[in-house]
Amino acid sequence: MAALGFTTGLRTCSLRPLRRKGPTPDLLVEHGILLNRRSHTEGQEVMERTKIGVDQEIALPQDLIEILKWHTERMPPGPMRDSDLLFPDESGQIAGRHRPWQRFRVVAQEVGIKKRITPHGMRRTSKDLLRQAGTSQVVSMAISGHLTEQMHQHYSTVTEAEQRESLAKVISLAGFKQAMAAVSSPAGAPQPGDTQAAGAAVAPSRPRSKR
């Protein structure tokens, strides 16, 4: 979840209900496409629309597809692997809204980060990474879903190639593949917390004061 969140800037309410298989998967591996079209609220309740009411089709680079495949292959046998969800909890259900916060606190403590980090930091950091990668504002907004009526017409000109190229640069800048390799055990056996740890090496952007 961290790698996908830091790369695309999707809200955690959009990440939690993503499906990797089943009748209507949201991750289309063979096409390299991620469909952002649902939003998780409380319990197992899911709205069949995004928070802003606009569905997204995001073209993912091959490196990010490989990270997500690595994540699913390391799911332990049982409810998690049987689940249609991309990021299920241990029971195979949609993870609670506070689960990402808990994971962030654990990782921050393990790596010695003193500042308060929240999952929303993935969205802010994604914008910074996309800017550092030289991504245009139009492409960046099309990826993250920061829509405005003024820019809406521009989004129809953003191609899959532009999205993939921009996200591939973010993957390289953030070092996600190195993080993935670092948490892989020599024998390839899943370790506790591994499936959510890839990408944790990225330092979220410092929150800005609200004016």
- List the pLDDT tens digit at each of the 211 positions of the chain: 889 998 998 989 999 999 999 999 999 999 999 999 999 988 888 999 888 788 899 999 999 999 999 999 999 999 999 999 999 999 999 998 888 888 888 888 888 888 877 777 888 888 888 888 898 887 888 887 766 645 444 444 678 898 999 999 999 988 888 888 887 755 544 444 444 444 444 545 544 444 3
Type of residue at 128:
D
Q: What pLDDT score was predicted for residue 148?
A: 60
**Which two structure tokens, joined as six digits, stand for 166?**
């921009």
Q: What pLDDT score was predicted for residue 139?
A: 83
Q: What pLDDT score was predicted for residue 131?
A: 87
Q: What pLDDT score was predicted for residue 98?
A: 84
Rounded CA gap, 96 and 76, in Å? 19
Q: What pLDDT score was predicted for residue 162?
A: 87
pTM (2 d.p.) = 0.74
CB 174 within 8 A of CB 129: yes
Q: Which helix (H) or strand (E) holds 58?
A: strand 56-59
Q: What pLDDT score was predicted for residue 185?
A: 54
Task: Report the SS3 class of residue 199.
Answer: coil
